Amino acid sequence: MVLDNDFKQAQERVDELITLLDRYSHEYYVLDRPSIEDSEYDKLYHELLHLEETYPALIQQDSPTQRVGGTLLPGFEKVEHDLPMLSLDNAFDFEGLQAFDKRVQQLVSGEIEYECELKIDGLAVSLKYEEGKLTQAVTRGDGRVGENVTGNVKTIKAVPLKLRRPVSIEARGEIYMPKASFIKLNTDREEQGEAVFANPRNAAAGTLRNLDPKVTASRNLNLFLYSMVQYGELEIETQSEALETLEKLGLRTNPDRAIFQSIEGVWSYIEEYQEKRSQLPYEIDGIVIKVNRFDEQEQAGYTVKAPRWAIAYKFPAEETKTRINEIEWSVGRTGVVTPTAIMDAVQLAGTTVKRASLHNVDLIKERDIRLDDLVFVRKAGDIIPEVVRVDFDSRTENSVPCEIPVNCPACESELVHLEDEVALRCVNPKCPAQAKERLIHFVSRNAMNIDGLGEKIVIQLFERHLVEDVSNLYDLDLEQLMTLDKIAEKSADNLLKAIEGSKRNSMERLLFGLGIKHVGAKAARLLSEKYETIEALKQATQEDIQVIEGIGEIIAESVVAFFELEAAIDLLDKLKAHGVNMTYTGPKKVETADTTSVFYDKTIVITGKLEHYKRNELKETLTRLGANVTGSISKKTDILIAGADAGSKLTKAQELEVPVWDEEALINEIGQ
């Protein structure tokens, strides 16, 4: 029967797509060596999603589409660990390590090898795989009983839902939030008036225990596995073999590990990473040292609380003391008023620090921070300086609490402290500070991307009253721009061309540039792909919007509220009158591509300097015509588009006999 054949073909394709997507995900999230472009991955993912929607019976538990749950979790059930997740004893100096070494030498016969690993500052978790499939993820809890967080852990892209072999194992590791994700999360929360996380570890813990898996998925958690406590038929004799086996099964381990035959070698490794820690993309708070051989671990044994064969060396806290001289209050584009401590300059993690975030009023009150206080400062996520605590012993008797502003420092409007927020907020829609920040956001790279129009120039334009809102950018002329500092005629002309060119941007850039609360670049793209015009989005209801995968209720509510504002509609009318594009012109989903195009379903690589196209614009055009645009040449490449100075990709294409097109051939074909 035709239906049976269709179903069988779909089943075979689903199996093939899951295998491919698992491999590409492993290359991207575990090995950090992607072999395909994001757009090609997205195309395969959407093809799988389409097949699963057409044939629901083909949905597999380990399908990549099942990573993000669509419903809120009712809570986390308690789970008892088969084997306790014990804590480690600590050492704080070389003498402590020598004492540990001496104890081990007394307990273990023969030469001892120590395996050293970075101590990730995150949240311990245990993963169970049965016959190669992820069945359970449990937090450490109190060491004996943890919480079942399987649904949330499945959203972490580095965690395979299926191993490369159908084995049953229990692996343990550390879930963490990368520094860049932590900074972005706190910046976004601060902009929205929400409480910030104290450090990446707290952020990871809060994210993993969030009852909405979509929130967990959006925050980019990652993990490193550091042990196998149950490994069935696998033959493993050492800790280093265990980690190598985890890697072969497709699980992520930290490559920055080493083996030493002496405690002096261990110390050199500790000193090396104490210097390097600020350069790592994740936080570490020490080094874990383990006896490498499992039989020697058994000889050493355990205390009630910890193994005798392992110890954690804890780095000293990277904090320094300085004095607060002033508290500066600034207004962001959403109206949130943020305090910053101005301090005596100090050295911290290799840089000179004079300013530190105080985040919000509640934090100032909670930590009782005052002017002229001596305070301890550290770098949250090793990046953003923040005040940790006050040295109360040094405070004078006549010290008084900080004066919290009642009026906006930019427009003098009365500030509000909304019930559901920790921030002070200026709600004046004409506040100049907010308008300035909105302008800076509007021209930024991920928004309208107006080349040459940086923050300093925007501030000049605003302070000289040449622009009041973003629509005024399109009123600027050559003479006005030449009145700005360090702007000559050629620079002014280039700026005008860049401003004019931004009118042709696709809708998602404009939507993101408008600065709608909770609408980031990804949400703007999803909304634009769905509705295709600003007018259509403006007519959409909250119920319509929130069903879009990756959007949800909060973003939908914010979008609808924005389009109900008279000021927003007025601004969009002005932009439209200036000729700013309000339509989505980015790549369409695969199912909307032109199947008659010569580019449809072809794998294409672009190389060299192009005269008639910008690389991203050409990529979008080809994707719209159904092509898979990738970054590397292989036997599967159908066409290489080569501009001037094509280099090694052209050579490889010729070796593999891949057809090579120049720009003229490309233009002729696209024209047809």
| Residues labelled catalytic | 119
- Enumerate residues 6+ apart whose C-beta is below 8 A from 148: 76, 77, 78, 79, 136, 137, 138
Alpha-carbon distance of 472 to 463, in angstroms, equals 13
Q: Where are the beta strands (DSSP E) in 49-122?
A: 78-80, 90-91, 114-120
Helix (H, G, I), strand (E, B) or coil at 607: strand
Among 232, 257, 231, residue whose Cα is nearest residue 242: 231
> Phi and psi dihedrals of 290, rounded to 5?
-130, 145
Asked whether the beta carbons of 162 and 75 are under 8 A apart, the reply is no
> Phi and psi dihedrals of 222, rounded to 5?
-145, 175
Helix (H, G, I), strand (E, B) or coil at 649: helix
Asked whether the beta carbons of 542 and 557 are under 8 A apart, the reply is yes
Residue 157, H or E segment: none
Among 167, 165, 207, 168, residue whose Cα is nearest residue 184: 207
Alpha-carbon distance of 620 to 506, in angstroms, equals 11
Q: Where are the beta strands (DSSP E) in 35-157?
A: 78-80, 90-91, 114-120, 123-130, 133-139, 145-147
Among 519, 503, 501, 495, residue whose Cα is nearest residue 471: 503
- Which residue stretches of 327-427 are H helix? 361-367
Alpha-carbon distance of 39 to 631, in angstroms, equals 11
- Which residue stretches of 127-199 are H helix? 150-153, 179-191
Burial letters 112-134, b for 16+ CB under 10 A, else e: bbbbbbbbbbbbbbbbbbeebbb
Q: Tokens 């007519």 — which residue?
A: 539
DSSP 219-275: TT-EEEEEEEEE-TT----BHHHHHHHHHHTT----S--EEESSHHHHHHHHHHHHH
Instruction: Output the CA–CA distances (angstroms, integers) from residue 48 to 20, 35, 209, in the order listed.
Output: 11, 19, 29
Return the amino acid letter for 244.
Answer: E
Alpha-carbon distance of 16 to 64, in angstroms, equals 12
